[in-house]
Amino acid sequence: MKIKKAVITAAGLDQRHLPLQTLVTPSGETKSVMSLILDEIFSTEIESAAIIITPESQRDFIVAVDKHLDRVTFIEQEKPLGYGHAVLQSKAFVEKEPFLLMMSDHLYLSQSETPWLKSLLSVAEQTGCPVSAVQATHESKLPYYGAVAGKRINGKADLYEISAALEKPTPTLAEQELIVPGLRSGHYLCFFGMHILNDSVMKYLEKSFEESPDKLPLTPSINATAKSERFLACEIQGLRFNIGEPYGLLRAQLAMAFASDQRDEVMSSIIELISSTKS
Amino acid sequence: MLLSIITAEDHQTRDQALAKLCESLEIDQLLQECDELDLFRRESSNLYHRVRAIFFLQAIYRFHLPEKLASQDTGSIPFNGYQKLLERHFEEAIDAFLLVQHNFGPSDAICSALASAYHQLAFQTLANQVRKSVRTVRGNQWMFRMGHPEDHPLRIRRELLEKEDHLFPILCERTPVRMDLTHSAWSDIFFLGMDFPRGAKVLNVSVDLAVQGSNQPPRPPVEAYLRMIDQPVLRLTSIDLKATTEIHSLGEVFDFAKDHLGLLKAAIIASGIIPPGIEGSGTSLKSLLAKIAGQGRGIELISSVNNIPKGSRLAVSTNLLAALISACMRATGQTHSLTGELTEKERQIVLARAILGEWIGGSGGGWQDSGGVWPGIKLIEGEIASEADPEFGISQGRLMPRHKVFNHQEIAPDARQALTDSLILVHGGMAQNVGPILEMVTEKYLLRSPDEWNGRQEALALLDQIIEALTQGDIRTLGKLTTQNFRGPLQTIIPWATNHFTETLIKRVSQAFGEDFWGFWMLGGMSGGGMGFIVDPQRKQEALTTIQSLMLKTKKELEHALPFAMDPVVYDFEINEHGTSGEFHRGSEATLPPAYYPLHLPNRLQGPRSKLSQTDQAELTQFAHACKINPAFHSSIESLFETILPTQSHLNSGNVSLKELLKKQGFDQLQHEQIRKNLKEGRIGLAQNRLAQNSIIRDVRETDVTNFIDRSPHPELVKIGENALRAGEVAVITLSAGAGSRWTQGAGVCKALHPFAQLNGKHRTFIETHLGKSRKSGREAGTLLPHLFTTSYLTHNPTKDFLETVDHYQYPGPLYLSPGRSVGLRMVPTERDLRFAWEEMPQQLLDEQQQKVRDSLREALIKWARQSGEAADYIDNLPLQCLHPVGHFFEFPNLILNGSLAKLLQERPQLKTLMLHNIDTLGANVDPALLGHHLKNKAGLTFEVITRRLEDRGGGLALVNGKPRLLEGLAMPREEDEFRLSYYNTMTTWIDLDEILALFQLTRADVFEGNLDQLTCAVRQVADLLPTYITLKEVKKRWGNGQENVFPVTQFEKLWSDLSSLSEIETQYVVVPRLRGQQLKDPAQLDAWLRDGSASHVASLCEWQ
């Protein structure tokens, strides 16, 4: 199967201005976060993207998407009813086709030669299954992420078949339900913020929303899909930056700077700053 | 041979009894087996093979080798091995003892040391495994990995952080307790479930309770409350214990014995709020709380037990711990729901956490104890360990059992109602330590003694029948089966499961209800506390009141003989079909139990209202409103005033009667003040009890003693003795003035009246046993042997009353009581003495976590001593608990002072010899050969000694600077000196009456004349020749609802055996067999006493009628 569409969620109450933040890329260009995400998406065979936004924020995003405006559709989420609800808003846009789901407040830096997104798309295309990007994460970060349990697929070091997915589990529950052989003690496969989802997930989202219209998270629908059909998790070796958390943007910027020609200059500035600042 | 039993795959071989196999083995063969077992246990990787081999070794060294060894071999125990034992370095201790055995051959002494070392090693190995398993239960592991606040993965649920009307909402957890219909012979011990999962089965029922007559309907007796507070602290409150504290640092959370809030702290830790892995990290509590609850916030946790006293055998404390853990887990999102029942998985994790919490808190229960977490009636069974379990490959079974809750098709509502309609659930009032019983069960299970092993199988079969009776709703049969269980397997395995109180009660209930009394049911580990009586439902109402009054009557009769913590109570109960359940209250509904407010509001009311926080103001307003409209709060204002202004009469009541008592008992205030002064100035104290460091302490020479072990008594000696007996020249004095501090851990009952064991099918008191021996000796000699019991302020009246009640056991000879004539007032110990006792004297280290708790407790007690005033009068207890006897030296002088000796001489003018012995030396009788030996040698005093075993501590027969004498342990200049001594003092002494009167510079005529001044002066002169020892004793203070605290107190003593140091009286020593000389100091000795032939030996010396 070919993935031709992407959905980016940007409707969080605190996300309105994040994609507008700018960063200097390793090649020295200044770009908005949203523009960087779209660059990565459109470097693959994906043809169009929908951005889920809060009402009346479209004007800001038009600026942020920059040159990709003609391939982007804006969809407003009227009420903040959860991440799953934001995804559900894209139902008409995706038209039952599999699609890439990403978050606008996360930036990724690949540590392998094949870019992370290409790896993920390739898995989905080869297996025909929905796939979530995951990363082995220490249990202290469990309050922030969904996590999965699964079995490693023979012959594939980074691929797992998901048997269960739980939203922000406590370590107590994680230890009982989410132990994955081969991971270091106290580490779990947590979502990395990227998924290739299919129509089954949309159906479960719809069903859940009918049953409980107040709040619609995404993870239970992934869990339900994984119980009914093959759903994979692909372990990504990369860095993730949540630009919404304190100093998240700074860390992302530093990571990009260290990957550029300006590395030495940036490092010496930091050292100078440290030595001249009172602790 | 023995190894093949341990490693056998088939049950038939594996379940063979050790005792039977050892019967036919000679000493050399037994030693060969021991070598093989020891090598095996060092090398085996299978935990349970190893433990069984260790228990085999322990049993061989404790029972089978000593029986076959020539007991005159004195042997010695190396001090370095003893030290290693105290430090819990069991392997090194065993090596040290084995080396001595290898070099000098086996002896009774070294066998005792090896038995003790193997015993402790076995239990340590099992405890280590349980601890390891608790840590590795999935859901618990992460808590041991977390070591930094930034890594804390838990967050308080949002709902708890949202205030309404300035008040945080309250989470409430209500939990029933559990009663076990049968535990299949204590099969809920962890290791038993892990080694023998198919034999680990418990049927237990969750129940709500109310004390009968309280006019309250039954409700879950255990409650936990949790809410957020606007201070970065942990505020802990136990409503029933009236204790509260605010914890500001992490170290305090792990300080369990500092106050009465250890259980709440254990819950905070075991629930993961303060994970055990963070202990000792130096982290601030404030930052940890900020991470999980938000900046500046803290957590308040409150426990409440509704009127259920300690020792109920209903697992109140475990279920309270489970309730607290459940509340903490709900608050931190570790359960799916904030309210309602828990899911099965959540219950399992609460159980795992409760086991962890008990281990952290240094206590321990069975795996069925958290049964209240589950609803209704359930079968809890051991589970075979599967590949996914951490126990796989280590033990056959898992640590965590399986719970099968019976639904209403399996046990119909009618059957449940029938059980409720017939069962009278009671608390008999006794509070006893079940710990030794559980150790006995463990040991016996591993040794597979035939009777006990068959008993275990029978108990398992009975469980199936009990379930069948329950499903049929046939409560009459159920009663028959629970009685059969109690009478059969339980008492076969552990005879101490019953006691005289229980037996009397069963007999009286049976007499009162005849055929309508359907059965008795023992709850928990032993009877006397929580128990059940099953009656025809037609007579239940009548039975409720009758059994209550029978219990009260029986308790009244026995309260000086057995340790009762409270008056007995009867419960109303209902089966709880929900298990633990949560509620969530906000706004005006968010109130705490009424008794919470008098504990906290006085502090808040101290300052001006303007300084109160908004939350405090809101809470005060809410409390005021509740007092107006909520009937449960009606008496709260009164309680609040009582807390702020306690009534004067309440404060003074104890002291007035103490003063009266002191006056009545002839308390010497001048002497008391002198002792206080000396104590404060450091002239006397524990360290000063010791002889000078340059004293030379050596073992006695062969010529210093006469050996009476295994020697056919010389006919001439026997004849001399028999003649003296026949001529009426002998009387017996039993020292029974003491309260048996070790026997009941300071409960203050009369040891002499304790019905300690069944002999010839009946519970016998110490007094009855001693009279039984005198009856037999008298009959054999054709005389009536006079017997005199010395008493004290504590024991005189109860002993007198008791003897009247039992018609003096129809003792045919003269029987006298000699009341004490001196008394001391206990003092608060000095810090110096406490530190000397706990830090400078060799101490038995405890298991790691228990040791931590003990250290914390000791620090708290040192603080208590400082705050109460060192050497101040100890008066904060019942008056009788504040007094102390002043040492057994005074027991003989008391005979002179109180006229008992004069009375005895009037009755027996020909009296020449007295045999004096301790109440707990049960094997001592008027043996004609020993008497003959004493008379023939014309000694003033003949002391009996026995060969020493490891447990015989506290002095012995020594050459002190070249002179043989009995030396008290208190006076040993160096700890290791005692280990050079071959003989231990039994205290049994043959006394030449005229010689000892001469020592006091008195004659028979003086005794008859009874000039008190002259007699007092004579006693004082001899007393002045003897050292005064300062000792620390433990005393219990009872409070609340069956709660007990143990305090160390200082008292002084002069001791009888120091007479052996005087040159003014001729003294000699005889070595007697252990069966004659050993003392019963601790109830934990009873089982071995029964097994090693001591009990039957004592019974053979007695005639009961």
> What ipTM was estimated for this complex?
0.74
Mean pLDDT of B787-801: 91
Partner residue facing A172 (CB), from B139, B145, B150? B139
* Highest-pLDDT range among A98-112, B68-82, B232-246: B232-246
The alpha-carbon radius of gyration of chain A (Å, integer) is 19
Question: Reduced to 3 states, what is the DSSP secondary structure of residue B1046?
Answer: strand
Give the whole-angstrom CA distance, residue B137 versus residue B79.
41
CB pairs under 8 A between A and B: 50
Position B975 confidence tier, pLDDT thresholds 50, 70, 90? confident
Task: Give the whole-angstrom CA distance, residue A169 versus residue A30.
Answer: 38
Q: Which residues, in sequence order, are CB contacts of B352 under 8 Å at separation 6+?
A: B134, B137, B139, B140, B399, B400
pLDDT at B729: 97
Length of chain A: 279
The pLDDT of residue B292 is above 90: yes
B1042 — pLDDT class (breaks 50, 70, 90)? low
Cβ B527 vs Cβ B499: under 8 Å? yes
Query: Hey, how many other C-beta atoms are within 10 angstroms of the C-beta on B371?
Result: 31
Q: For the ranges B466-470, B613-617, B647-651, B1074-1078, which has the lowest average pLDDT?
A: B647-651
Provide the pLDDT for residue B1081: 86
| B635-642: average pLDDT | 72
CA B421 vs CA B417, B467, B539: distances in Å: 6, 18, 10
Closest CA of chain A from B582, distance in Å: 19
The predicted pLDDT at position B653 comes to: 41
Q: Is residue B132 over pLDDT 60?
A: yes
Q: Are residues A137 and A225 in the same domain?
A: yes
Per 3-state DSSP, what percentage of chain A is helix, strand, and coil (rounded to 5)?
Answer: 40, 30, 35
The pair phi, psi for residue B1074, each rounded to 5°, is: -60, -40
Residue B809, pLDDT score: 95
pLDDT of B717 > 60? The answer is yes
Inter-chain touch B153–A142, beta carbons under 8 Å = yes
**Domains of chain A: total:** 2
CA angle (B724 as vertex; B722, B727 as ends), nearest 5 = 105
pLDDT tens digit at each of 279 positions of chain A: 789 999 999 988 776 677 788 999 888 899 999 999 999 999 999 999 999 999 988 888 898 888 999 999 999 999 999 999 999 999 999 999 999 999 998 888 876 667 788 889 999 999 999 999 999 999 998 998 999 999 988 888 889 999 999 999 999 999 988 988 888 889 999 999 999 999 999 999 999 999 999 999 999 999 999 999 999 999 988 788 888 888 888 999 999 898 888 889 999 999 998 888 765
The pLDDT value recorded for residue B534 is: 97
CATH of the domain at A62: 3.90.550.10
Structure tokens at B114: 């090896």
- pLDDT tier for residue B999 given thresholds of 50, 70 and 90: very high
The answer to whether B520 and B506 have CB atoms below 8 angstroms apart is: yes
In chain B, residues under CATH classification 3.90.550.10 are: 662-827+870-1101
What CATH fold (topology level) applies to the domain B662-827+870-1101? Answer: Spore Coat Polysaccharide Biosynthesis Protein SpsA; Chain A (3.90.550)
Summarised one tens digit per residue, pLDDT across range B554-607 is 999 998 888 888 889 999 999 999 999 999 999 888 999 998 998 888 777 777
Asked whether residue B608 carries a pLDDT value surpassing 80, the answer given is: no
pLDDT at B654: 47
Are residues A50 and A132 located together in one domain of the fold?
Answer: no
Residue B544 confidence (pLDDT) above 90:
yes
Q: Domain check: are A150 and A225 in the same one?
A: yes
Query: For the residues B1072-1082, what does the mean pLDDT come to?
Result: 90
> Between A171, A176, A179, which is nearest B153 by CB?
A171
Residue B1041 has a pLDDT of: 60
Nearest to A231 by CA among A209, A263, A198: A198
Q: Which 8-state DSSP code applies to residue A71?
A: G
Alpha carbon of A178: minimum distance to chain B alpha carbons (Å): 10
Q: How high is the pLDDT of residue B1085?
A: 86
What's residue B1060's pLDDT?
A: 95
Burial class (CB in 10 A: 0-12, 13-18, 19+), B637: middle
The three-state (H, E, C) secondary structure of B25-87, written as one string? CCHHHHHHHHHHHHHHHHHCCCHHHHHHHHHHHHHHHHHHHHHHCCCCCCCCCCHHHHHHHHC
Strand residue runs (E) in B382-461: 402-405, 423-427
Q: Quick check: is A195 in a domain? A: yes
Is residue B951 a contact partner of residue B1103, using CB atoms and an 8 Å limit? no
Position B779 scores a pLDDT of: 95
Tally Cβ neighbours within 10 Å of residue A69: 13
User: Which residues on adjacent β-strands are paired with residue B915?
Assistant: B732, B990
DSSP state of B336: S
The separation between CA B818 and the C-alpha centre of its own chain, rounded to angstroms, equals 30
For an interface test with A, give the residue of B137, B148, B151 to mutate (most A CBs within 10 A).
B151
A33 part of a folded domain: yes
- Position B343 pLDDT exceeds 50: yes
Find the mean pLDDT for residues B974-1002: 93
Euclidean distance between CA atoms B1031 and B968, whole angstroms: 12
Q: Which residues contact B875 (CB under 8 A, 6 or more apart)?
A: B654, B655, B658, B825, B882
pTM for this model (two decimals):
0.83
Say which residues have a Cβ less than 8 Å from residue B440's Cβ, sequence separation at least 6.
B494, B496, B1087
Q: What is the pLDDT of residue B450?
A: 84
Residues A64 and A140 grouped into a single domain: no
Residue B155 distance to chain A (closest CA, Å)? 7
Q: How far apart are CA B229 and CA B247, in angstroms?
A: 13
pLDDT in the model for residue A131:
97
Asked if residue A51 is part of any domain, the answer here is yes
- Mark yes or no for CB contact A172/B345 under 8 Å: no
A135 neighbors A186 (Cβ within 8 angstroms): no
Q: pLDDT tens across B38-55, in order?
A: 999 999 988 888 999 999
Q: Transcribe B789-851 into DSSP letters.
A: EE--TTTHHHHHHHHHHTGGGG--S-EEEE-----EE-BPPPHHHHHIIIIIS------HHHH
Is it the case that residue B235 has pLDDT exceeding 50? yes
The answer on A85 and A129 residing in a single domain is no
Residue from B134, B135, B143, B145 to probe the interface with A (highest A Cβ count within 10 Å) = B145
Given a cut of 70, whether residue B70 has pLDDT beyond it is no
Residues A259 and A226 in one domain: no
Whether B267 contacts B301, CB under 8 Å: yes
Residue B786 and residue B728: Cα distance in Å, rounded? 8
Ranges B510-524, B741-755, B953-967: which has the least confidence: B741-755
Interface of A with B (CB under 8 A): 138-143, 170-176, 179, 185-186
Residue B352 clears pLDDT 60, i.e. is over it: yes
Weakest-pLDDT range from B320-329, B570-579, B964-973: B964-973
* Dihedral (CA of B704, B708, B710, B715) sign: positive
Q: Report the residue of chain A nearest B152, measured CA to CA.
A: A140
Q: Kindly give the interhelix angle for B928-937 and B715-726, rounded to the nearest 10 degrees.
A: 90
How many residues are listed for chain B in this entry? 1105
b vs e for B191-221, b when ≥16 Cβ sit within 10 Å of the residue's Cβ? bbbbbbbebbbbbbbbbbbbbbeeeeebebb
Our CA-based measurement puts residue A50 at a distance from the nearest CA of chain B, in whole angstroms, of 32
d(CA A165, CA B742): 58
pLDDT at B375 over 60: yes
How high is the pLDDT of residue B482?
97
Tokens of B551: 């219990």
Judged against a pLDDT cut of 50, whether residue B367 lies above it is answered with yes
- Angstrom distance (rounded) from CA B395 to CA B537: 45
State mean pLDDT over B988-995.
97
DSSP string, A151-186: EEPTT-TTEEEEEEEEES--HHHHHHH---TTSPTT
Q: Residue B626: what pLDDT?
A: 85
- Counting residues of chain B whose pLDDT is more than 90, the rounded percentage is 59
pLDDT of residue B651: 38
What is the C-alpha to C-alpha distance for residues A139 and A189, in angstroms, rounded to an integer? 10
Compute the distance between CA of residue B80 and CA of residue B600 in angstroms, rounded to an integer: 53
Same-domain check for residues A189 and A219: yes
What pLDDT is stored for residue B363 in this prediction? 66
Neighbours of B1096 (CB within 10 A): 12
User: Best mutation site among B134, B140, B142 for testing chain A: the one with the most A CBs within 10 Å?
Assistant: B142
Strand pairing partners for B946? Answer: B984
Contact criterion met (CB below 8 Å) for B222 and B315: no
Closest CA to B957 of B937, B972, B938, B939: B972
d(CA B202, CA B196): 14
Q: What is the pLDDT of residue A277?
A: 79
DSSP summary character for residue B157: -
State the number of CA atoms in the 13 A half-sphere of A83 facing the CB: 20
Model confidence at B930: pLDDT above 90: yes
Is A139's CB within 8 Å of B155's CB?
Answer: no
Residue of chain B minimizing CA distance to A141: B153
Share of chain B above pLDDT 70, in %: 96
> What sign does the dihedral B534-B536-B538-B544 (CA atoms) show?
negative
| Residue range(s) defining the domain that contains residue A61 | 1-111+239-264
CA–CA separation, B1089 and B1085 (whole Å):
6
Question: 3-state DSSP call for residue B99?
Answer: helix
The string of pLDDT tens digits covering residues B89-111 is 899 999 999 999 999 899 989 99
User: B146 contacts in A (CB within 8 Å)?
Assistant: 139-140
A171 lies in the same domain as A78: no
pLDDT digits (tens, 9 = 90+) for B914-926: 999 999 999 999 9
A130 with A105, same domain: the answer is no
- Per-residue pLDDT at B656: 52
Q: Please return the burial class of B519, using the count of CB atoms within 10 Å of its CB with bins 0-12, 13-18 and 19+.
A: buried
Q: How many CB atoms lie within 10 A of CB B877?
A: 20
Same domain, A214 and A258: no
The reported pLDDT for the residue numbered B826 is 93
Mean pLDDT, range B464-483, rounded to an integer:
96
pLDDT of residue B366: 75
The answer to whether residues A181 and A100 belong to one domain is: no
Close Cβ partners of B125 (under 8 Å, ≥ 6 residues apart): B47, B50, B51, B54
In a domain, A18, yes or no: yes
- Tally Cβ neighbours within 10 Å of residue B548: 18
> What average pLDDT does the structure give for chain B?
89
Same domain, A150 and A254: no
pLDDT grade for B933, boundaries at 50, 70 and 90: very high
With cut-offs at 50, 70 and 90, classify the pLDDT of residue B513. very high
Distance between start and end Cα atoms, chain A: 56
Separation CA B110–CA B97 (nearest Å): 6
Q: Is the model's pLDDT at B170 over the cut of 60?
A: yes
Q: How far apart are CA A237 and CA A137, in angstroms?
A: 12
Give residue-wise pLDDT tens across range B137-169: 889 999 998 888 888 999 999 999 999 989 999
Partner-chain residue, chosen from B140, B142, B334, that has the shortest CB–CB distance to A186: B142
